[in-house]
């Protein structure tokens, strides 16, 4: 019984560490593409980073394979041009760079 309980607790903890998180509302300071063209890089004001990701770089990376890539790009450009705050939804870190993996975005007033 203790073994089953221990396995259950370990699985619960590992599932929590991969849960999605939202960054606080902030302004975009830079938008660029990766040299390979496989992703979009968005730099934000402040030092808001999801736990476990690269704490020295506030870059949100949106992979081109993301089904909402076009929508995220459009909303990000609109927010950047208008100076509005954005809230990015982050799903962990990208293994190769340890940047935050952006999966969705919202614009705030």
State how far the alpha carbon of 65 is from the alpha carbons of 1, 40, 47, 107, in Å.
43, 11, 26, 22
- Close Cβ partners of 33 (under 8 Å, ≥ 6 residues apart): 39, 40, 41
Asked if residue 5 is part of any domain, the answer here is no
CATH code (residue 73): 2.40.50.50
pLDDT above 90 as % of the chain = 56
Asked if residue 95 is part of any domain, the answer here is yes
Reported as a pLDDT band with limits 50, 70 and 90, residue 15 is very low
Sheet holding 100-108, edge to edge: 21-22, 85-93, 100-108, 59-63, 39-44, 28-33
Structural domain tally of the chain?
1
Residue 28 domain boundaries: 20-108
Asked if residue 71 is part of any domain, the answer here is yes
Asked if residue 4 is part of any domain, the answer here is no
Asked if residue 73 is part of any domain, the answer here is yes
pLDDT tens by residue, 60-103: 999 999 999 999 999 999 999 999 999 999 999 988 788 899 99
pTM flag (> 0.75): yes
Asked if residue 6 is part of any domain, the answer here is no
């Amino acid at each position: 019984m203790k073994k089953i309980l221990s396995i259950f607790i370990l699985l619960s903890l590992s599932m929590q560490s991969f849960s999605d998180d939202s960054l606080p509302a902030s302004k975009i300071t830079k938008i660029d593409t990766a040299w390979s063209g496989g992703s979009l890089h968005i730099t934000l004001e402040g030092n808001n980073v999801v736990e476990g990701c690269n704490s020295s770089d506030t870059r949100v990376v949106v992979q081109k394979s993301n089904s909402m890539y076009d929508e995220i790009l459009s909303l990000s450009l609109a927010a950047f041009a208008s100076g509005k705050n954005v809230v990015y939804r982050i799903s962990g870190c990208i293994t190769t760079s340890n940047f935050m993996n952006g999966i969705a975005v919202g614009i705030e007033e």
